[in-house]
């Protein structure tokens, strides 16, 4: 899995940064792309990226402020022209469906793919054999949600030495064991997957928060996450301003990552007062003094998701 930041600015776009949108590329896991928020200009940013709308499977909206959703109608309308004809599901807070459908109706837009819209107020939003997506309410001027994406543990690798002990050679039986099936050997004995598989491979956990000031639901969403994506709109010398506008500082983002024992913190949603990467360095230094494994979200940078601690 890889994160790709399409927009990292707060409020309005600038010449240096676009407004919020984050791609989660999951080509190895499910040959899919998930998108988190869709600020104005997102589809244009995608044209300059390695992301493909033909792979887009789900969009998760954190909240309905314009810098997080004004790019959504355009992207939905033009997705098919970039090869996106497979079903698409949009998850968002109450009001998401009305916003999308009103825009589509008034613009007389026609979609040639199946669009599902799931409104929620938190909880488990999606689960299949590979992933669970949960959400919880944060603290912002309007309802804003954070998302926790948990990849389920995967079977361990086949142990060649153990397979040889049972006289097994590469073939269909290998696949059945990897899928968790018990097989019958030529001598009639049963062979369980756990007899020849290594330890399960721990799945990744990614937490992506919407706009928020510090609140109780941050930690349960972020606990033990391999990667925490947290807004850091201001330096901490503007903590009063951040609180007034329901945002967080870089210090508060770092404190959240440390309290949750996250593996890595990626800060985003920067105030336009910080014009370029050089002016963002004080935010990075402030956060790293509390949580060293912190980085700034840089647009058009592909960030691999790695385990927070090495597997034993």
Same domain, 174 and 97: no
Same domain, 182 and 80: no
Ligand-binding annotation for 276, yes or no, is: no
Same domain, 118 and 245: yes
User: In a 10 Å sphere around its CB, with 0-12 CB exposed, 13-18 middle and 19+ buried, how is residue 309 labelled?
Assistant: exposed
Same domain, 35 and 115: yes
Mean pLDDT of the chain: 93
Ligand-binding annotation for 120, yes or no, is: no
Same domain, 255 and 145: yes
309 domain residue, yes or no: no
Interhelix angle for 250-259 vs 277-288, to 10°? 40
37 domain residue, yes or no: yes
Same domain, 173 and 95: no
253 domain residue, yes or no: yes
User: In a 10 Å sphere around its CB, with 0-12 CB exposed, 13-18 middle and 19+ buried, how is residue 304 labelled?
Assistant: exposed
Q: What is the pLDDT of residue 57?
A: 97
Ligand-binding annotation for 230, yes or no, is: no
Which candidate, 269, 268, 264, 267, places its Cα nearest to that of 305?
Answer: 264
Ligand-binding annotation for 243, yes or no, is: no
List Cβ neighbours of 237 (8 Å cut-off, separation of 6 or more). Answer: none
- Residues facing 23 on adjacent strands: 4, 35
Ligand-binding annotation for 300, yes or no, is: no
- Mean pLDDT value across residues 82-91: 93
219 domain residue, yes or no: yes
> Domain end: 168, 195, 222, which one?
195
CB 265 within 8 A of CB 294: yes
Ligand-binding annotation for 63, yes or no, is: yes
The 10 Å Cβ neighbour count of residue 1 is 21
> Domain end: 195, 216, 251, which one?
195
- Band the pLDDT of 209: cuts 50, 70, 90: very high
CB 191 within 8 A of CB 164: no
265 domain residue, yes or no: yes
311 domain residue, yes or no: no
310 domain residue, yes or no: no
Q: Quick check: 312 pLDDT over 80? A: no
- Band the pLDDT of 115: cuts 50, 70, 90: very high
Domain count, the chain: 2
For the chain, the straight-line distance linking the first and the last C-alpha, in angstroms and rounded, comes to 21
**Sign of the dihedral defined by the CA atoms of residues 157, 160, 164, 168, in that order:** positive
Q: How far apart are CA 284 and CA 289, in angstroms?
A: 9
Q: How far apart are CA 49 and CA 177, in angstroms?
A: 38
Same domain, 113 and 40: yes
User: In a 10 Å sphere around its CB, with 0-12 CB exposed, 13-18 middle and 19+ buried, how is residue 288 labelled?
Assistant: middle
Same domain, 35 and 72: yes
Q: What is the pLDDT of residue 33?
A: 97
Per the structure, the complete domain to which residue 51 belongs is given by: 2-154+201-304
CB 308 within 8 A of CB 226: yes
Ligand-binding annotation for 128, yes or no, is: no
Same domain, 128 and 232: yes
Same domain, 243 and 167: no
> Domain end: 177, 195, 213, which one?
195
Domain CATH number, residue 53 = 3.60.15.10
135 domain residue, yes or no: yes
Tens digit of each residue's pLDDT (9 = 90 or more) over 157-181: 777 777 777 777 777 777 787 777 7
Spell out a b/e string for 113-150, using b for 16 or more CB atoms within 10 Å of the CB, else e: eeeebeebebeebbeeeebbbbbbbbbbeebbbbbbbb
Q: What is the pLDDT of residue 206?
A: 98
Q: Give catalytic residue positions.
A: 67
CB 267 within 8 A of CB 297: yes
Tens digit of each residue's pLDDT (9 = 90 or more) over 124-164: 999 999 999 999 999 999 999 999 999 998 877 777 777 77
Q: What is the pLDDT of residue 188?
A: 81
Same domain, 226 and 172: no
Same domain, 234 and 94: yes
User: In a 10 Å sphere around its CB, with 0-12 CB exposed, 13-18 middle and 19+ buried, how is residue 13 labelled?
Assistant: middle
Q: Quick check: 90 pLDDT over 90? A: yes
Residue 45: enclosing H or E segment and its boundaries? helix 42-47
């Amino acid at each position: 899995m890889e994160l790709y930041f399409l927009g990292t600015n707060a409020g309005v776009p600038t010449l240096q940064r676009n407004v919020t949108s984050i791609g989660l590329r999951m080509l190895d896991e499910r040959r899919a792309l998930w998108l988190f928020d869709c600020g104005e200009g997102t589809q244009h940013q995608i044209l300059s990226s390695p992301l493909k709308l033909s792979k887009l499977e789900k969009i998760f909206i954190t909240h309905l402020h314009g810098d997080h959703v004004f790019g959504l109608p355009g992207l939905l309308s033009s997705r098919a022209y970039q090869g996106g004809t497979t079903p698409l599901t949009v998850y968002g807070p109450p009001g998401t469906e009305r916003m999308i459908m009103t825009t589509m109706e008034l613009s007389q837009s026609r979609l040639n793919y199946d669009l599902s819209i799931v409104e929620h107020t938190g909880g488990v939003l999606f689960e299949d054999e590979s992933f669970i997506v949960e959400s919880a309410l944060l603290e912002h001027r309007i309802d804003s949600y954070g998302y926790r994406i948990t990849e389920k543990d995967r079977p361990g690798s086949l142990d060649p030495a153990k397979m040889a002990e049972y006289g097994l050679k590469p073939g269909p039986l290998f696949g059945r064991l990897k899928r968790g099936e018990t097989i019958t050997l030529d001598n009639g004995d049963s062979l369980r997957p756990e007899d020849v598989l290594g330890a399960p491979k721990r799945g990744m956990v990614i937490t992506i928060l919407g706009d928020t000031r510090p609140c109780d639901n941050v930690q349960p969403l972020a606990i033990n996450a391999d990667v925490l994506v947290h807004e850091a709109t201001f330096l901490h010398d503007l903590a009063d301003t951040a609180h007034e506008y329901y945002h967080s500082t870089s210090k508060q983002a770092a404190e959240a990552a440390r309290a949750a024992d996250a593996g890595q913190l990626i800060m985003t949603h920067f105030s336009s007062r910080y014009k370029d990467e050089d002016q963002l360095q004080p935010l990075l230094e402030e956060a790293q003094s509390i949580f060293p494994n912190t980085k700034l979200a840089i647009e058009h940078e592909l960030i691999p998701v790695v385990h927070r601690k090495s597997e034993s």
